[in-house]
Amino acid sequence: MSFIEVNDIWKTYGDNVVLERVKTNVHAGEFITIVGASGCGKTTFLKMLLGTEYPTRGKILLNGKPIPQEPSEDRGIVFQKYSVFPHLTALQNLVLTIELEQSRWLAHLFGSAYRLADEQAREMLAMVGLQHAANQYPHELSGGMQQRLAIAQALMKQPKVLLLDEPFGALDPGIRADMHELILKIWNQTKINVFMITHDLKEGFYLGTRLWVIDKIRHDAQAPNAYGATITYDIPVGQCDNSTLNEIDQSLEHSRKEHAA
Amino acid sequence: MDEPLLLRNGTMKRVMNIHPGTVGKVLLGMLPFILTIIVYLWASGVRLEANPNDKLMPSLTTIGAAIERLAFEPSKRTGDYELWSDTTASLQRLTLGVLIAALIGLLIGILNGAIPLVRANLSPYITILSLIPPMAILPILFIVFGLGELSKVMLIVIGITPFIMRDLQARTLELPAEQLIKAQTLGASTWQVMVRVIIPQILPRLIQAVRLSLGPAWLFLIAAEAIAAEQGLGYRIFLVRRYLSMDVILPYVVWITVLAFLADWLLRQISYRAFPWFHSQLQDKS
């Protein structure tokens, strides 16, 4: 049985069809990168996996059960920004995840329970390379460090699925390379299912085990919203040569122009 | 001025680009105060010369004598030091009123902002309530709560709570949705999101809202004291108005201004100490 089954889902807002006939299966441990022109519905798809948007038609199954229609612990998320809590230090951001689990009403731990949580949190900080920044607030951290913290925070709950919505979009190229290394290390260690949206096709090829391109197949020049996008390419990365890369690049460029027109 | 006023080619900089230095800033800031005092002393001198019994602009000596009588000599009628008993009475009413308003405002504001069901239920009602001019219902407060302390505190509460509530509702709605979603993916319940994500981030904004409400709070306090009270800063001002005692009114007004300034300064200091992350966030934006 597949880990995630996407059964012919559609997403429409009134007459505006965003996604149509999206069908696919995902096995445990796959690292899927998703590319597509902006506004093509890739974020909508990610939000459906997250549980903040619901398919208009069709179903998404997680482990054979309909995916919960609100965010929950089994699906971690890292957004491009605002992913960590500004009023807590790096360490407190991680300790919080344990406090939420163990202290239902106060949501605070004390004494030995706190020390244990503190230890766990410091281990996680060290894993993402932030041990020296434990007592700093997010605004004192660079963009890359904030995203490291956001990833660490999501991993504290050991989710089955990690959703990344253009997590490195705002970072400098050099920092981005460091982040790629980190995310691959984490994926290798945990074999967690990763869905990552990216603008950068090369990044998609470098990171994933499987690349999806979300785009429209059918176009109607008179009614640009009449048809939705779907998965147009679903390629196992690694079995892919430069000509395919160019082909996808051109098709994306084409729909980008159409979008602009 | 710390920076040169002239550019290398000899022309002057645009005025908008000239910044005063530290000393210049203090001097420029003091200037209007000093000018006000000089103008007052001059006008007062001219009037007193024409009519030594003029009460409208008393000299500094007369004002000083009034201050000494009110602050350092027990009143012949009650035995109180009037300035201090007035100050305590007023500050008690003000503090109590603002505190109650802040608590109600925080509670309803956060619930409205965070829980769509509560917002649908309460938000229209509060919007309408906040449009009622508080002064218009002051007679109702006197009728319902009597002429004692309660009605004065209630006027402050009724006067500023709607603003605090609506402000905090807006501030809560402004929190990035990403944070609330993230908290849910970390397993937080609605309650836990409130106590660990929303309330800690709204508290510094509550202080901001309270600082902005202090002006109206003083207004309502003095209005209530003017109409019915036995002591209080507003009461005294309106009492001595009958005798045209500007020598009492003027120092009282200055004293109220000093108190208002101190209250604002204190709240700002508390906010800086308790929520450093909040203030550096604001700096990032500006």
Q: Could you tell me the residue ranges of all domains in chain A?
A: 1-74+161-261, 86-158
Mean local confidence (pLDDT), A108-117: 95
Phi, psi (degrees; rounded to nearest 5) at A241 = -105, 180
Per-residue confidence band for B6, with pLDDT thresholds at 50, 70 and 90: confident
Mutate to test the interface with A, among B174, B185, B198 (most CBs of A within 10 A): B185
Task: Answer for the pair A194, A31: CB distance below 8 angstroms, yes or no.
Answer: yes
Q: Domain spans of chain B?
A: 1-57, 69-285
Asked whether the beta carbons of residue B176 and residue A96 sit closer than 8 angstroms, the reply is no
Nearest to A164 by CA among A206, A185, A194, A132: A194
Per-residue confidence band for A118, with pLDDT thresholds at 50, 70 and 90: very high
Between A130-144, A177-191, B7-21, B222-236, the lowest mean confidence (pLDDT) is in B7-21
Asked whether the beta carbons of residue B187 and residue A72 sit closer than 8 angstroms, the reply is yes
A244-259 CB burial, b ≥16 within 10 A, e <16: ebeebeeebeebbeee
Alpha-carbon Rg for chain B in angstroms? 25
Cα angle for residues A204, A208, A213 (degrees, 5° grid): 50
Mean local confidence (pLDDT), B19-26: 90
Mean local confidence (pLDDT), B244-260: 95
Spatial separation of the C-alpha atoms in residues B175 and B195, rounded to whole Å: 14
Cα angle for residues B269, B270, B276 (degrees, 5° grid): 85
**pLDDT mean across residues, chain B:** 92
CB < 8 Å to B284, chain A: 139
How far from the centroid of its chain's Cα atoms is residue B173's Cα? 25
pLDDT reading at B112 higher than 50: yes
pLDDT reading at A239 higher than 70: no
Asked whether the beta carbons of residue B185 and residue A52 sit closer than 8 angstroms, the reply is no
B59/A contact by beta carbon, under 8 A: no
Give the pLDDT confidence score for residue B215 in this predicted structure.
Answer: 95
Per-residue confidence band for A218, with pLDDT thresholds at 50, 70 and 90: confident
pLDDT reading at B35 higher than 60: yes
Long-range residue pairs from B265-274, CB within 8 A, at least 24 positions apart, any chain: B267/B207, B267/B210, B267/B211, B267/B214, B268/B207, B268/B211, B270/B207, B271/B204, B271/B207, B271/B208, B274/B203, B274/B204
Give the pLDDT confidence score for residue A193 in this predicted structure.
Answer: 94
Mean local confidence (pLDDT), B20-35: 93
- In order of B11, B156, B231, B232, the CA distances from B92 in angstroms are 58, 12, 12, 10
Three-class SS state of B47: helix
- For residue A122, the distance in angstroms to the closest alpha carbon of chain B comes to 17
Give the pLDDT confidence score for residue B283 in this predicted structure.
Answer: 59
Asked whether the beta carbons of residue A107 and residue B192 sit closer than 8 angstroms, the reply is yes
- Would you call A230 exposed, middle or buried from its count of C-beta atoms within 10 A (0-12, 13-18, 19+)? buried
Give the pLDDT confidence score for residue B8 in this predicted structure.
Answer: 79
pLDDT reading at A99 higher than 60: yes
At position A190, the amino acid (one-letter code) is: T
Mean local confidence (pLDDT), B89-114: 97
**pLDDT mean across residues, chain A:** 90
Per-residue confidence band for B229, with pLDDT thresholds at 50, 70 and 90: confident
Q: DSSP of B197-234, one letter per residue? A: IIHHHHHHHHHHHHHHHHHHHHHHHHHHHHHS-SSSHH
Task: Answer for the pair B21, B1: CB distance below 8 angstroms, yes or no.
Answer: yes
pLDDT reading at A121 higher than 90: yes
Spatial separation of the C-alpha atoms in residues A214 and A18, rounded to whole Å: 11
Give the pLDDT confidence score for residue B79 in this predicted structure.
Answer: 85
Mean local confidence (pLDDT), A95-124: 95
- For residue A163, the distance in angstroms to the closest alpha carbon of chain B comes to 11
- Residue linked to tokens 């597509």: A36
CB < 8 Å to B174, chain A: none
* CA distance between the termini of chain A: 43
Spatial separation of the C-alpha atoms in residues A15 and A57, rounded to whole Å: 14
For A157, the closest of B186, B275, B280 (CB atoms) is: B186
Give the pLDDT confidence score for residue B236 in this predicted structure.
Answer: 94
Mean local confidence (pLDDT), B56-60: 93
Per-residue confidence band for A1, with pLDDT thresholds at 50, 70 and 90: low
- For residue A213, the distance in angstroms to the closest alpha carbon of chain B comes to 25
- For residue B271, the distance in angstroms to the closest alpha carbon of chain A comes to 13
pLDDT reading at A196 higher than 90: yes
- In order of A12, A54, A174, A178, A202, the CA distances from A181 in angstroms are 37, 33, 11, 5, 15
Chain B residue with minimum CA distance to A155: B186
pLDDT reading at A259 higher than 70: no
Asked whether the beta carbons of residue A72 and residue B184 sit closer than 8 angstroms, the reply is yes
- For residue B186, the distance in angstroms to the closest alpha carbon of chain A comes to 5
Q: Any idea which fold B69-285 has?
A: MetI-like fold (1.10.3720)
Mutate to test the interface with B, among A49, A81, A100 (most CBs of B within 10 A): A100
Per-residue confidence band for B1, with pLDDT thresholds at 50, 70 and 90: very low
pLDDT reading at B138 higher than 60: yes
Question: To the nearest whole percent, how much of chain A has pLDDT over 70?
Answer: 96
Per-residue confidence band for B284, with pLDDT thresholds at 50, 70 and 90: very low
Give the pLDDT confidence score for residue B3 in this predicted structure.
Answer: 61
Q: Any idea which fold A1-74+161-261 has?
A: Rossmann fold (3.40.50)
Mean local confidence (pLDDT), A72-80: 94
Mean local confidence (pLDDT), B206-216: 96
For B186, the closest of A100, A104, A139 (CB atoms) is: A100
Question: To the nearest whole percent, how much of chain A has pLDDT over 90?
Answer: 65
For chain B positions 262-281, those within 8 Å of chain A (CB to CB) are 275-278, 280-281
Nearest to B124 by CA among B157, B160, B176, B162: B162
* CA distance between the termini of chain B: 24
CB < 8 Å to B276, chain A: 137
Per-residue confidence band for B282, with pLDDT thresholds at 50, 70 and 90: low
Give the pLDDT confidence score for residue B115 in this predicted structure.
Answer: 96
Spatial separation of the C-alpha atoms in residues A41 and A225, rounded to whole Å: 12
